[in-house]
């Protein structure tokens, strides 16, 4: 009996020693793999980042479609001064004309998700440019207010396409180590478009009233043509190619857009896993699950989402909602009117001061592109939102003081208003502005990305449209200072949401980000699962 027990004990010890050796070997293998992975992907923690030039150019070209939105929003802020006189429209018609394009964007952004899964990301960008070109021509040639609204509708469809597809393509082509830098490009070009719109306002304003606003609106067609042609030189998104089973083409694109051949192979393996293609399938063309073509996505997103997908949707839609609910488009659209309320009277003076808003937005968005992969998403987002809160509170105070002293010219209050408008757009552009477009496509899983992002874009444009179409009526009801106090309150709520709900995503691959939103198992549940692993003799095994 004793010998049998000793023999059994000896075997158990031998087995434990063997298991320990295997665990140690596995641990060393995992450590080695992690080290190699970090070296391959050049994560921020390992040292200097590498920026793939080919991926840089592709992201740049794709993101240039976003210039259409920035230009259209900004150009209308000045053009409306002349359109109002030309067509003899009232304030209600003016604010509807200003903000309605954001509602029209809903149709474009919703349809673009399905279209991009059908014809590819690249050709969807071409479609966006073509639609916007037609809309710009219609607005520039409009004989009356109704026709102008139709032109806004067509342009809005094009803007919706561009807003959805640019960040999707950029996120899918960029390496993980520099994805934040590349996916901030759409916001860079939105700001560039805003600046161009303000400059065009100032340049065309001295022309006759039957010509100046037409050139302001129609000129947007020129960059649309250039963009539509330039995009044809880009490759297709590697993730979309894998979704179609075109592994050979995807591998070639990944080798060009990755920092090394090893990283390209790793990215391809992860995308195949996300799509549902077995690892052993290595042919140039392979069969893929039907859902990879976009079927069933809306059901998984809206009808029966998993807890992780539900959290991802809340985070994605939330960041887009708060980006606009804090009032940025009210400032961009109505800068001339805000400065007029602050005390500037001449049209050229209003448009000249408004140009400073465009320059500030553009400068700070360029700074943000350099910081997003260095400091991470959360620090920039929280710092940016806090700067917006302070600026909005000071702007509301300055406008309220001026409003209460209509017979006095308060130069210091005017200076406060101009300064705080600039600090507000600067704070927005260094964090919340670009990060909504960086963060949202990052966290949405590949199979859901196009349609999932379209929901975020829809929320973004609805809120922007509502603010654009109600700003004048709202400040007439609660004063213009009261409006900015309201925006400050929304910004405070957004800071709390970002702090509690948005995890850091810096340096992680798109395929592993979904796990950030999965609820971790409680420690007790893990112990219970471990306790179920038993030896054949009924004793619990060492785990």
Q: In a 10 Å sphere around its CB, with 0-12 CB exposed, 13-18 middle and 19+ buried, how is residue 405 labelled?
A: exposed
| Tokens 């919703």 -> residue | 110
> Does residue 275 contact residue 68 with C-beta atoms inside 8 Å?
no
Distance CA 70, CA 332 (A): 9
18 C-beta neighbours (distance < 10 Å), count: 10
With left for phi above 0 and alpha for psi between -120 and 50, is residue 276 left, alpha or beta?
Answer: left
**Per-residue model confidence (pLDDT) at position 392:** 96
Encode 82-133 in three state secondary structure: HHHHHHCCCHHHHHHHHHHHHHHHHHHHHHHHHHHHHHCHHHHHHHHHHHHH
Question: Looking at residues 144-162, what average pLDDT do you find?
Answer: 91
> Does residue 52 contact residue 175 with C-beta atoms inside 8 Å?
yes
pLDDT score of 533 more than 70:
no
Q: What are the contacts of 84-92 at 24+ separation with CB within 8 A?
A: 85/209, 86/209, 86/210, 86/213, 87/144, 87/145, 87/148, 89/145, 91/472, 91/473, 92/472, 92/473
**Per-residue model confidence (pLDDT) at position 289:** 65
Q: In a 10 Å sphere around its CB, with 0-12 CB exposed, 13-18 middle and 19+ buried, how is residue 439 labelled?
A: buried
Question: Looking at residues 393-407, what average pLDDT do you find?
Answer: 92
pLDDT in tens, 103-119: 888 888 778 878 888 89
Question: Looking at residues 345-358, what average pLDDT do you find?
Answer: 86
Dihedral angle sign, alpha carbons of residues 117, 119, 122, 124: negative
**Per-residue model confidence (pLDDT) at position 9:** 43
Q: Which of 38-52, 161-175, 320-334, 402-416 has the lowest mean pLDDT?
A: 38-52
Query: Looking at residue 540, what DSSP letter applies?
Result: B
pLDDT score of 456 more than 50:
yes
pLDDT score of 536 more than 60:
no
pLDDT in tens, 11-49: 444 444 444 444 344 444 433 433 343 333 333 333 444
pTM (2 d.p.) = 0.68
In order, the DSSP letters of 319-330 are HHHHHHHTTHHH
| Tokens 């219609």 -> residue | 138
pLDDT in tens, 213-243: 999 999 888 888 888 888 888 889 888 898 8
pLDDT score of 425 more than 90:
yes
pLDDT score of 153 more than 90:
yes
Question: Looking at residues 288-313, what average pLDDT do you find?
Answer: 75
pLDDT score of 510 more than 70:
no
264: Cα within 13 Å, side-chain hemisphere: 18
Q: Which pLDDT band holds residue 292 (cuts at 50, 70, 90)?
A: very low
**Between 252 and 187, where is the model more confident?**
252
**Between 486 and 52, where is the model more confident?**
486
Encoded tokens for 474: 């709202």
pLDDT score of 412 more than 60:
yes
84 C-beta neighbours (distance < 10 Å), count: 16
Question: Looking at residues 335-345, what average pLDDT do you find?
Answer: 88
pLDDT score of 518 more than 80:
no
Q: Which pLDDT band holds residue 423 (cuts at 50, 70, 90)?
A: very high
Q: Which pLDDT band holds residue 168 (cuts at 50, 70, 90)?
A: confident
Q: To the nearest whole percent, how much of the chain has pLDDT over 90?
A: 25
**Between 196 and 523, where is the model more confident?**
196
Encoded tokens for 398: 């300055």
Question: Looking at residues 513-519, what average pLDDT do you find?
Answer: 69
**Per-residue model confidence (pLDDT) at position 29:** 41
**CA-wise closest residue to 397 among 333, 484, 478, 487:** 484
The per-residue pLDDT of the chain, averaged, comes to: 80
> Does residue 67 contact residue 358 with C-beta atoms inside 8 Å?
no
Q: Which pLDDT band holds residue 4 (cuts at 50, 70, 90)?
A: very low
**For the stretch 115-126, what's the b/e string if a residue is b when 16 or more beta carbons lie within 10 angstroms of its beta carbon?**
bbbeebbbbbbb
Distance CA 275, CA 270 (A): 9
pLDDT score of 266 more than 80:
yes
User: How far, in Å, are 223, 309, 527 from residue 517 at the CA level?
Assistant: 39, 8, 22
Q: In a 10 Å sphere around its CB, with 0-12 CB exposed, 13-18 middle and 19+ buried, how is residue 87 labelled?
A: middle
Encode 371-423 in three state secondary structure: HHHHHCHHHHHHHHHHHHHHHHHHHHHHHHHHHHCCCCCCHHHHHHHHHHHHH
pLDDT score of 532 more than 70:
no
């Amino acid at each position: 009996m004793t010998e049998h027990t000793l023999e059994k004990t000896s075997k158990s010890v031998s087995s434990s020693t063997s298991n320990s050796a295997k665990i140690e070997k596995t641990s060393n293998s995992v450590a080695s793999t992690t080290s190699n992975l970090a070296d391959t992907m050049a994560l921020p923690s390992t040292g200097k980042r590498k920026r793939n030039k080919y991926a840089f150019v592709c992201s740049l070209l794709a993101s240039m479609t976003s210039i259409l939105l920035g230009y259209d929003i900004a150009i209308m802020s000045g053009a409306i001064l002349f359109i109002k006189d030309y067509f003899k429209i009232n304030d209600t018609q003016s604010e509807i004309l200003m903000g309605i394009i954001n509602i029209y964007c809903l149709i474009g952004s919703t349809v673009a998700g399905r279209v991009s899964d059908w014809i590819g990301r690249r050709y969807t960008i071409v479609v966006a440019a073509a639609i916007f070109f037609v809309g710009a021509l219609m607005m520039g040639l409009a004989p009356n207010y109704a026709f102008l609204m139709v032109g806004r509708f067509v342009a809005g469809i094009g803007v919706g396409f561009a807003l959805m597809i640019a960040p999707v393509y950029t996120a899918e082509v960029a390496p993980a180590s520099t994805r934040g830098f590349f996916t901030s490009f759409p916001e860079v070009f939105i700001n560039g478009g805003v600046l161009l719109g303000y400059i065009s306002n100032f340049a065309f304003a001295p022309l006759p009233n039957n010509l100046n606003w037409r050139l302001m609106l129609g000129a947007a067609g020129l960059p649309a043509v250039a963009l539509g042609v330039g995009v044809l030189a880009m490759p297709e998104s590697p993730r979309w190619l894998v979704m179609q089973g075109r592994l050979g083409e995807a591998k070639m694109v990944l080798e060009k857009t990755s920092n090394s051949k090893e990283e390209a192979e790793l990215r391809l393996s992860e995308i195949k896993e996300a799509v549902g293609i077995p690892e052993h399938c290595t042919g140039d063309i392979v069969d893929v699950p039907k859902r990879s073509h976009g079927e069933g996505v809306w059901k998984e997103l809206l009808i029966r989402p998993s807890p992780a997908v539900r959290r991802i949707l809340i985070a994605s839609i939330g960041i887009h909602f708060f980006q606009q609910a804090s009032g940025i488009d009210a400032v961009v659209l109505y800068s001339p009117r805000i400065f007029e309320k602050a005390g500037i009277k001449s049209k050229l003076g209003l448009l000249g001061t408004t140009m400073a808003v465009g320059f500030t937005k553009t400068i700070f968005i360029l700074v943000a592109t350099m910081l997003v992969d260095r400091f991470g998403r959360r620090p920039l987002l929280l710092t940016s939102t806090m700067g917006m809160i302070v600026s909005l509170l000071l702007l509301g105070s300055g406008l309220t003081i001026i409003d209460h002293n209509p017979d006095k010219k308060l130069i210091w209050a005017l200076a406060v208003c101009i300064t705080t408008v600039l600090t507000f757009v600067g704070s927005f552009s260094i964090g919340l502005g670009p990060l909504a477009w960086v963060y949202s496509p990052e966290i949405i899983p590949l199979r859901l990305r196009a349609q999932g992002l379209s929901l975020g874009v829809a929320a973004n444009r609805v809120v922007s449209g509502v603010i654009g179409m109600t700003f004048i009526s709202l400040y007439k009801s609660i004063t213009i200072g009261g409006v900015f106090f309201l925006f400050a309150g929304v910004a405070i709520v957004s800071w709390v949401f970002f702090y509690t709900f948005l995890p850091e995503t810096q340096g992680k691959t798109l395929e592993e980000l979904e796990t950030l939103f999965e609820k971790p198992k409680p420690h007790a549940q893990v112990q219970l699962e471990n306790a179920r692993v038993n030896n054949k003799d009924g004793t619990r095994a060492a785990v």
